[in-house]
């Protein structure tokens, strides 16, 4: 059976009080609507159709190739929104799933189970409900004496008796496709002048057709985001889910309450994450690492056996057995090879740092390459920017840079060379040469790398 999916996302989301479309607000680092598209992949091979309206171009740009889009020019209600997808989908599928762009916690397996239910339903629709004492403005499910669903009544239209109903409409429906397309136009206009998809339930029951409604087992999945308060609730629930998944996969998380892992992050076995750590974007962390506390790692790839304490890493690459921090900052293009040690207050940007190199204390290396086993003394600075250009510093293997050295780029330091404390190096230094002073001048040649 072919299943197509419609995600309604044309509304403004007024209660968010935002310049941005509601469905693009992120949960665990990705737009709300992105999470729903991921869930759809678990039961359908077809790209979902997203109904866009408010700031349609922004929504399309953000979701890109992951969906088809249809435009709802005027927001005349959820049934009118579904109608906008009719030309694209009619005749193409057996089942149509309709859900909302503002329910990022709904799980693929829940949706899949509902599609299975509908396959066996002789009636035209199966839908999800939620049992909750907190109505959150949801529509109420009205059942007859036999317990069969009769209608969904929007909160604004409820009598005081109906307001007490604790079975609520989640807004996830699974329709027999032909029936949906034939009956959308039978929906009457609501008291607010809109066409509500909820009213299609009564269209079915008035004809004596079976509506299957089942309560969702985890009410958290049903949360619809209408405000920033709901957004933070969803973020917390998603965080708990993600952290649990990683713990089950063999990652230790000391304090899941204060560990913030984005949805696309990957973490290796036996790595430990300490409190107040943020792992963001497409970050990948290897095995047996210790990460945090107080660390933010964004779009960075880290190998195995690394230790990162109280540091910020962005768009960087770190190989194996590297230790950073406290208070290190890797900026875009920093690449630390195996065994690099980077102590307090280091900053590295657009640089390759060779294996075994040590940068112990407060240094800035920008647009630099170093060879193997270089020692960068405390307070070393590469002066890479002359006000116009960013210039390169090249430091060969086994160089010893003395404390407080200024390397005025462009400059090259030859293999095994040494700079004295406080040198200001504005000319290339030859292999094995020892330079001191300001500007640095040669005083002798090093016999080995120890002097």
* Residues designated catalytic: 361
CB of 13 to ligand UD1, least distance (A): 7
Q: Measuring CA to CA, how many Å separate 187 from each of 10, 170, 211?
A: 19, 19, 16
Write out the DSSP string of 315-335.
Answer: S-EE-SS-EE-SS-EE-TTEE
Q: Is 11 in the site for Ca ion (CB under 5 A)?
A: no
CB of 218 to ligand UD1, least distance (A): 16
Handedness of CA 258, 264, 270, 271 (dihedral sign): negative
- Biggest CA pair distance of the chain: 101
Write out the DSSP string of 133-146.
Answer: S--TTPPEEEE-TT
Q: Is 80 in the site for ligand UD1 (CB under 6 A)?
A: yes
The tokens describing 101, both together, are: 């762009």
CB of 283 to ligand UD1, least distance (A): 30
Q: Measuring CA to CA, how many Å separate 67 from each of 4, 22, 48, 99?
A: 11, 17, 5, 14
CB of 204 to ligand UD1, least distance (A): 15
CB 44 within 8 A of CB 67: no
Question: In which element (H, E) is residue 113 found?
Answer: helix 108-119
CB of 151 to Ca ion, least distance (A): 19
For Ca ion, the closer CB: 32 or 187: 32
Q: Which of 9, 141, 234, 308 binds ligand UD1 (CB under 6 A)?
A: 9
Q: Which of 118, 171, 357, 380 binds ligand UD1 (CB under 6 A)?
A: 171
Q: Is 27 in the site for ligand UD1 (CB under 6 A)?
A: no
**For residues 284 and 289, what is the distance between their CA atoms, to the nearest angstrom?**
11
Residue 196 near which of ligand UD1, Ca ion, none (CB within 5-8 Å, type-dependent): ligand UD1
The tokens describing 114, both together, are: 């509902």
Tell me which residues in 206-225 interact with Ca ion (CB under 5 A).
224
**Burial degree of 451 (CB within 10 A; 0-12, 13-18, 19+):** exposed
For ligand UD1, the closer CB: 154 or 433: 154
**For residues 412 and 228, what is the distance between their CA atoms, to the nearest angstrom?**
53
Q: Is 31 in the site for ligand UD1 (CB under 6 A)?
A: no
Q: Is 198 in the site for ligand UD1 (CB under 6 A)?
A: yes
Q: Is 6 in the site for ligand UD1 (CB under 6 A)?
A: no
Nearest by Cα to 172 from 249, 242, 118, 251: 118
Q: Is 81 in the site for ligand UD1 (CB under 6 A)?
A: yes
Strand ranges inside 259-298, DSSP E: 259-261, 266-267, 272-273, 277-280, 284-285, 290-291, 295-298
Nearest by Cα to 243 from 213, 208, 223, 273: 273
Tokens 């290796």 sit on residue: 268
Angle at 247 between CA 241 and CA 252, to 5 degrees: 130
**For residues 297 and 279, what is the distance between their CA atoms, to the nearest angstrom?**
5
Q: Which stretch binds ligand UD1 (CB under 6 A): 165-173, 243-251, 345-353, 362-370?
A: 165-173
Q: Which of 4, 5, 49, 78 binds ligand UD1 (CB under 6 A)?
A: 78
Residues 6+ apart with CB under 8 A from 3: 43, 44, 46, 93, 94, 95, 96, 97, 115
Residue 106 near which of Ca ion, ligand UD1, none (CB within 5-8 Å, type-dependent): none
Q: Is 153 in the site for ligand UD1 (CB under 6 A)?
A: no
For ligand UD1, the closer CB: 138 or 352: 138
Q: Which stretch binds ligand UD1 (CB under 6 A): 2-10, 63-71, 206-214, 276-284?
A: 2-10
CB 362 within 8 A of CB 380: no
CB of 119 to ligand UD1, least distance (A): 24
Torsion of CA 92, 98, 101, 103, to 10 degrees: -140
Q: Is 273 in the site for ligand UD1 (CB under 6 A)?
A: no
CB of 154 to Ca ion, least distance (A): 11
Q: Which stretch binds ligand UD1 (CB under 6 A): 68-76, 85-93, 308-316, 380-388?
A: 68-76
For ligand UD1, the closer CB: 110 or 300: 110
Q: Is 138 in the site for ligand UD1 (CB under 6 A)?
A: yes
For Ca ion, the closer CB: 102 or 221: 102
For ligand UD1, the closer CB: 51 or 285: 51
For ligand UD1, the closer CB: 106 or 425: 106
Q: Can you give the binding site for ligand UD1, defined by CB under 6 A?
A: 8-11, 51, 53, 72, 75-78, 80-81, 100-102, 137-139, 152, 154, 168-169, 171, 196-198, 224, 226
Q: Which residues bind Ca ion (CB under 5 A)?
A: 102, 224
């Amino acid at each position: 059976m072919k299943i197509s999916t419609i995600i309604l996302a044309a509304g403004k989301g007024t209660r968010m009080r935002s310049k941005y479309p509601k469905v693009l607000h992120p949960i665990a680092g990705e737009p709300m609507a992105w999470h729903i598209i991921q869930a759809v992949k678990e039961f359908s091979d077809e790209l979902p159709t997203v109904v866009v309206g408010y700031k349609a171009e922004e929504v399309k740009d953000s979701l890109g190739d992951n969906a088809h889009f249809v435009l709802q020019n005027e927001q005349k209600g959820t049934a009118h929104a579904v109608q906008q997808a009719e030309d694209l989908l009619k005749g193409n599928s057996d089942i149509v799933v309709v859900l909302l762009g503002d329910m990022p916690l709904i799980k693929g397996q829940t949706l899949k189970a509902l599609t299975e239910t509908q396959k066996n339903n002789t009636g035209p629709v199966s839908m999800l409900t939620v049992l909750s004492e907190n109505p959150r403005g949801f529509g109420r499910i009205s059942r007859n004496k036999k317990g069969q669903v009769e209608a969904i009544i929007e909160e604004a239209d409820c009598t005081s008796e109906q307001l007490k109903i604790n079975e609520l409409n989640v807004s996830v429906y699974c329709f027999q496709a032909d029936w949906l397309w034939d009956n959308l136009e039978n929906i009457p206009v609501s008291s607010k002048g809109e066409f509500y998809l909820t009213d299609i339930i009564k269209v079915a029951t008035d004809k004596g057709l079976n509506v299957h409604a089942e309560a969702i087992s985890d009410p958290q999945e049903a949360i619809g985001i209408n405000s920033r308060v709901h957004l933070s609730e969803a973020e917390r629930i998603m965080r708990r889910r993600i952290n649990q998944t990683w713990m089950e996969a063999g990652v230790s998380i000391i304090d899941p309450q204060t560990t913030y892992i984005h949805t696309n992050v990957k973490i290796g076995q036996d790595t430990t994450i300490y409190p107040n750590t943020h792992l963001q974007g497409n970050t990948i962390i290897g095995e047996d690492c210790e990460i945090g506390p107080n660390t933010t790692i964004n779009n960075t790839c880290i190998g195995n056996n690394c230790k990162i304490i109280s540091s910020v890493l962005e768009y960087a690459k770190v190989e194996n057995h590297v230790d950073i921090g406290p208070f290190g900052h890797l900026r875009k293009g920093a690449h630390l090879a195996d065994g690099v040690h980077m102590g307090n207050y280091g900053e590295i940007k657009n640089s390759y740092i060779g294996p075994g190199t040590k940068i112990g204390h407060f240094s800035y290396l920008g647009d630099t390459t170093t060879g193997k086993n270089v020692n960068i003394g405390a307070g070393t600075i590469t002066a890479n920017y002359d006000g116009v250009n960013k210039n390169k510093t090249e430091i060969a293997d086994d160089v010893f840079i003395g404390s407080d050295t200024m390397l005025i780029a462009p400059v090259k330091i030859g293999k095994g060379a040494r700079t004295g404390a406080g040198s200001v190096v504005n000319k290339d230094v030859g292999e094995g040469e020892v330079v001191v002073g300001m500007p640095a001048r040669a005083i002798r040649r090093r016999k080995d790398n120890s002097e």
